[in-house]
Amino acid sequence: MSGWRHPDLGQEVDRSKRLRFSFDGAPLKGFAGDTLASALLASGTHILGRSFKYHRPRGLMAMGAAEPNAVFDVTLDGRTMPNQRATLTQLLDGMQVRSVNTGGSAARDPLGALDLLHRFLPAGFYYKTFMAMGWMRWEPMIRRMSGLGRVDPGWHPPANAETANAAPDVLVIGAGPAGLAAAKSAAESGRVVWLVEEARTLGGAFRWRGGQIDGADWTEIRDATVAAIEAAGGRVLTDTTLWGAFDHGLFAAWQRHPDAPDIHWRLRPRQTILAAGAIERPMWFAGNDLPGVMSAEAALHFLILHGAVAGRRMILATSGDCAYPVAGALCSAGVEVTLADLRSQTPHAPEGVRLLRATRIEAARGYGAVHGAVLNGEFHTADAVLMAGGWTPSVQLHCQAGGKLNWDEARDVLVPRPGTSTLVTVGAANARYDLADVLAEGHAAGGGSGPAPRPTLETHWSFAPLRPDPALKGPIWVDMQNDVTLKDVSIAAREGYTSVEHLKRYTTLGMATDQGRTSNFAGLSAMAALTGQTIPETGTTTFRPPVQPVPLAVIGGRRRGALFNPPKRLALEGSHRTAGARMREYGGWLRPAVYGEGDEAALALEEARTARATAGLYDASPLGKIEVLGPRAAELLDFTGYVRMSTLRPGRARYGFMLSETGIVYDDGVVLRLAEDHFVLSASSSHVAGVILKLEDARQDRFGCDGVVIIDRTAYWSTLTLTGPAAQSVLKRAGLPDAGLPHMSVTETECDGIPLRIARISFTGDRSYEISAPTRRAAELDALLVQALGAEGGRRIGLEAVMLLRAEKGYILVGKDTDGVTMPHDLGWVASRDKRSDEFIGKRSLFTAEARRSDRRQLVGLVVDDSRGVLPTGAHVVTSGSAPRSQGFVTSSGPAPGAGGSHALALIEGGLSRMGEVVKTFHLGAIRQARIAPACLFDPAGERLDG
């Protein structure tokens, strides 16, 4: 190919603005308004990339989203965007463009030798060869040899794409002739129309084919459409890709902005008109993938819009009338054109064009670039070969929306079956190519009254359908990007992969970034021919979003980094930070892990020891505070809980579990009974939403919402927990009423006008007070307690210290010390199962054969006597013998701040009846002995709770 720039043509480039860029290191020039594709075409660069599998040289073949070959990594201002499509990327000054999937540059690729082997690398070669030889070993090498652009790991695109919603009356997809006509008639009837166009300018094929409508240039209907849309309150979005149709009429669109963050639109129109146009089919002959073999329509597009011309001596192969104006335009631009038409009955040749009738193209010849083509057995020299093989309507969005296709024999296409999706398809997407039909169809779909716009010159294009011919010699490419040849389709058929879905997966046909725009029809029609089926019998593969590659950064929008899953924040975060807290997420809440500088494990142990010696204060605000109120509150909690709460006296607290109906422990926590008809359920901080779900389920479904309500007041109350032997002294010093609260009781009181709820319950094994104040008064409570705390030698402690304290006491965390099969009796809580005669959630599941097995994994402690430190969490307890088997695992482990040494909790088969047994533990190859002990190591008699 010897591409060049026409001196006059190129209506969308600004020749006063020269831009510099480089391709594989070579400096090149273009103009403002160029795409990378047009600038490279005009520069005469032949080879733009290498094919995926065989590393064959490939050039520019198509335009827009159909282009399979020209995919680049583009670096600008030090940022590399991988896999940019040349036909859709606007040229900017200073762009450094690199070809992808090349060993060096596109022009000189050391892996190009693979091409010589390609007859030995047919479809399925990698599967067949390397699966038998150990795929894992070969996969990295195969991956290196193929693949597209390289991600720059150092650059994180900003999370700044906004997501926005809109619900227009009418959404028109595509602003070509049909889309403009539809949008205009819809807007003129007063409806809110959103017109979405992928290109930066409106007009579609009008832009390069031109046209006179109702006696005026086509730009008049364009301007009238925009005016009508804006007058009716609609919008025109250019440079916007409508990339997916989803359930219940939702569409997603990616709007690009050169100087501002992109916008991701979620559109729910009342009516949608699809005017996405059609894509020119390639033709199938040997060497049809050589650089310089190109779509005729694309050649016209680049000529008119950018003045970029593919060559000086071209062969245009066709079987239809629509290529004739292309030949004429190229000829007027100074190109020597030979038009090879398969048909014997043809229109007249445009002036200056050499027309060969009944002529078939059999092969393109050349090495690295096309040198000519074989027409009816005779070689003709050319520096570009253009193909006009008919049209494939862009029906993806119709199909994504659930639409079916009809086979239209006369027009040789699959077209949307009307009424099978909510979209109305018009224009070339509906296989209408004559401009009068296109405009009339668009006008009608938009609900237009009165006459439709009419072209000044009527066209009636006829054509002869083309099919891949397996009898032709040489490799005939079907899918350029994924290197699928006609022979590969035959192999798939021979090996039984005749379904189009199997064909796709076996050969990777249509799975590349161009989504098979130029290849799917060829693959499917070839398979139909090989299996003797019709095209409707062969069917199509399923169309799924996205229609085109969309950056994940756009779909993700702002939901990244700190906004990906924002943690809940404590009201007292500021005072914790002032005290030196290291904040960390626990169960969705940002909480203090430890306080101060230095080694975290050492700090946590020191904090825990202080709490055991005097007093510790920690923020327990995330603990659920779910209020259950009403005359039937006790009855509800009896049903939803494993432990009965109706027998709890007001002012008292009781520990219990919530099970799922499968009998598995879902959550644990303390229930406070404030009054006969008023309970507070302390759900685990990460389970609050789930516990409410179960409570509401019972309330609404079983109780019929009668006699009980549930209110989540977790955020209303902030809770500080004071624990340790000096806890009571701190409380008194702070001036808070103690009221002689016994263990497991609760009181509602106040101090200095701050309403308080004080519960004496313990998660550490020491005397503890959970003191709750309304969140807006939490700072006052915090100040009172911290001052008194210091005077008694206590300190703030973080969650890491709390974890050490609770673990040595054998207090569990559901989900950490239990798993998806743990039932309450596995934790030693058997009384409810054995004694309760009333119904409760999960009850029946506690009596199945599985639930009664004696070798269930049960929670126990594990003590190590060696001097090798803490037993790792996750270590397995294994059987002895030559084939050891896991009997369970360590769930929590750490130093024991009160008891000394270390302590671990573990779920072990039959553990509760194996006290004192010495077992083997295994972790990362290391075997250690450990002794099964009660889960509670510290103060087993519970004297300190009342101390």
* Interface contacts to other proteins, rule CB under 8 A: 246-248, 250, 266, 661-662, 689, 692-693, 696-697, 700-702, 704-706, 839, 843-845, 847-849
Q: Which of 47, 68, 42, 67 has the alpha carbon at shortest distance from 58? A: 47
Amino acid at 64: G
**For residues 686 and 845, which CB has a smaller minimum distance to other proteins in the complex?**
845
Query: If you count them, how many residues does the chain have?
Result: 947
Contact 384, 292 (CB under 8 A): yes
For 282, counting Cβ atoms within 10 Å of its Cβ (0-12 exposed, 13-18 middle, 19+ buried), the class is buried
| Alpha-carbon dihedral angle through residues 109, 111, 117, 118, given to the nearest 10 degrees | -70
**For residues 261 and 545, which CB has a smaller minimum distance to other proteins in the complex?**
545
Q: What distance in Å separates the CA atoms of residue 920 and residue 879, rounded to the nearest whole number?
A: 7
Supply the minimum distance, in Å, between the C-beta of residue 494 and other proteins.
35
For 839, counting Cβ atoms within 10 Å of its Cβ (0-12 exposed, 13-18 middle, 19+ buried), the class is exposed
Contact 73, 150 (CB under 8 A): yes
Supply the minimum distance, in Å, between the C-beta of residue 502 and other proteins.
24
Structure tokens at 236: 């025109």
Supply the minimum distance, in Å, between the C-beta of residue 198 and other proteins.
22
Supply the minimum distance, in Å, between the C-beta of residue 642 and other proteins.
13
Supply the minimum distance, in Å, between the C-beta of residue 246 and other proteins.
5
**For residues 702 and 743, which CB has a smaller minimum distance to other proteins in the complex?**
702
**For residues 139 and 839, which CB has a smaller minimum distance to other proteins in the complex?**
839
Supply the minimum distance, in Å, between the C-beta of residue 555 and other proteins.
13
**For residues 284 and 679, which CB has a smaller minimum distance to other proteins in the complex?**
679
Asked if residue 546 has a cis previous peptide bond (ω within 30° of 0), the answer is yes
For 876, counting Cβ atoms within 10 Å of its Cβ (0-12 exposed, 13-18 middle, 19+ buried), the class is middle
Scan for tokens 């879905």, then name that residue. 501
Structure tokens at 922: 């295994």
Contact 929, 866 (CB under 8 A): yes
**For residues 243 and 463, which CB has a smaller minimum distance to other proteins in the complex?**
243
Supply the minimum distance, in Å, between the C-beta of residue 268 and other proteins.
8
Supply the minimum distance, in Å, between the C-beta of residue 858 and other proteins.
23
For 739, counting Cβ atoms within 10 Å of its Cβ (0-12 exposed, 13-18 middle, 19+ buried), the class is exposed
Q: What distance in Å separates the CA atoms of residue 794 and residue 789, rounded to the nearest whole number?
A: 5
Supply the minimum distance, in Å, between the C-beta of residue 594 and other proteins.
35
**For residues 288 and 640, which CB has a smaller minimum distance to other proteins in the complex?**
640
**For residues 137 and 248, which CB has a smaller minimum distance to other proteins in the complex?**
248
Q: What distance in Å separates the CA atoms of residue 877 and residue 923, rounded to the nearest whole number?
A: 9
**For residues 285 and 840, which CB has a smaller minimum distance to other proteins in the complex?**
840
Q: Where are the beta strands (DSSP E) in 333-489?
A: 336-341, 354-356, 361-365, 372-375, 378-381, 384-388, 391-393, 405-408, 413-416, 423-425, 477-479, 484-485
- Alpha carbon of 618 to those of 188, 611, 784: distances in Å? 67, 10, 14
**For residues 136 and 849, which CB has a smaller minimum distance to other proteins in the complex?**
849
Supply the minimum distance, in Å, between the C-beta of residue 263 and other proteins.
18
**For residues 676 and 839, which CB has a smaller minimum distance to other proteins in the complex?**
839
Break the chain down into helix, strand, coil percent, rounded to 5. Answer: 25, 30, 45
Supply the minimum distance, in Å, between the C-beta of residue 308 and other proteins.
41
